[in-house]
């Protein structure tokens, strides 16, 4: 494994076809497919990798959750969202970040309002709204978008048919993004055991999420609480220790 330093020069203009690494990430995985300055073709590989990671579970451990976070996004993001939904990977749209994230969030809202009409690609006035938003996007970013708008509308409503896997985060709202990511992950891990869900909340140090998941004190089995307490003590999470004490752990017996 190789490590390197990465420094962005302020006010530096990039050559066409190049981009900076996003500073909002802690790690990067570089894949060399032999091409140069071509951004196409990464979606399938990335989604397959996410699916493989989320399907992996160590013995007595937690499965690694995967989620697609969409901030803004270009027209190719629609393809990636569809691929994720086909693999049952949850998608979190950051509404208010602009571009494709806002367009699909609006389509989801239209489908939710029209109920079963989503199966018939929603009401015609809703399609007109999405069409206008796509028109505005293409005018802003490219001159050759008009010919693919109708196909893209169909793709967007294909996404809407799996809206149970899509969550929307209001970027200008009061909730924190990390809380919404964790809530989305847990929401779509309903097949996971109570133990796995609680330990995931402990790992993220979010007792507030644990309280939302399990509001009833009597619903927390003692053996699961004790395991969560062990994890909270080892990883130095006092807020979780305090919560678990309220949930029935007696340290004298523990």
| Confidence (pLDDT) at 58 | 59
Separation CA 209–CA 22 (nearest Å): 28
pLDDT for 187: 76
How far is it, in rounded angstroms, from Cα 194 to Cα 179? 19
Pair (143, 232) in one structural domain:
no
> Residue 73 is part of which domain span?
62-184
For the chain, the average pLDDT equals: 80
Element (H or E) spanning 52, and its range? helix 42-54
Local structure of 63: helix, strand or coil:
strand
HEC sequence for 72-129: CCCCCHHHHHHHHHHCCCCEEEEECCCHHHHHHHHHHHHHHHHHHHHHHCCCHHHHHH
Evaluate whether residue 15 is within a structural domain.
no
Structure tokens at 133: 């938003």
Question: Does residue 249 have a pLDDT over 60?
Answer: yes
Q: Are residues 222 and 154 in the same domain?
A: no
40-69: average pLDDT: 77
The whole-number pLDDT of residue 11 equals 67
Assess whether 180 and 67 both reside in one domain: yes
- pLDDT of res. 170: 92
Query: Which residues does residue 167 pair with via DSSP β-bridges, in sequence order?
Result: 92
Instruction: Let me know whether 164 and 74 are in one domain.
Output: yes
Domain tally, the chain: 2
């Amino acid at each position: 494994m190789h490590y390197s330093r990465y420094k962005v020069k302020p006010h530096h203009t990039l050559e066409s076809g190049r981009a900076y690494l996003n500073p909002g990430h802690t790690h990067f995985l570089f894949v060399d497919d032999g091409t140069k300055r071509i951004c196409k073709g990464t979606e399938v590989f990335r989604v397959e990798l996410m699916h493989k990671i989320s399907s992996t579970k160590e013995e007595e451990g937690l499965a690694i959750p995967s989620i697609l976070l969409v901030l803004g996004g270009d027209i190719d993001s629609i393809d990636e969202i569809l691929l994720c939904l086909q693999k049952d990977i949850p998608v979190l749209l950051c509404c208010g970040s602009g571009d494709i994230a806002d367009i699909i969030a609006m389509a989801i809202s239209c489908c939710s309002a029209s109920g079963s009409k989503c199966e018939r690609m929603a009401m015609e006035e809703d399609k007109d709204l999405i069409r206008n938003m796509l028109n505005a996007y293409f005018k802003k970013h490219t001159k050759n978008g008009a010919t693919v708008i109708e196909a893209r509308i169909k793709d967007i409503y294909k996404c809407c048919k799996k809206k149970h896997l899509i969550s929307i985060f209001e970027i200008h709202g009061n909730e924190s993004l990390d809380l919404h990511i964790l809530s989305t992950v847990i929401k779509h891990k309903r097949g996971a055991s109570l133990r796995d869900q609680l330990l995931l909340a402990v790992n993220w140090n979010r007792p507030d999420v644990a309280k939302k998941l399990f509001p009833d004190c009597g619903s927390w089995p003692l053996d699961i609480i004790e395991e969560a307490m062990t994890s909270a003590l080892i990883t130095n999470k006092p807020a979780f220790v305090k919560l678990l004490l309220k949930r029935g752990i007696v340290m004298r017996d523990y």
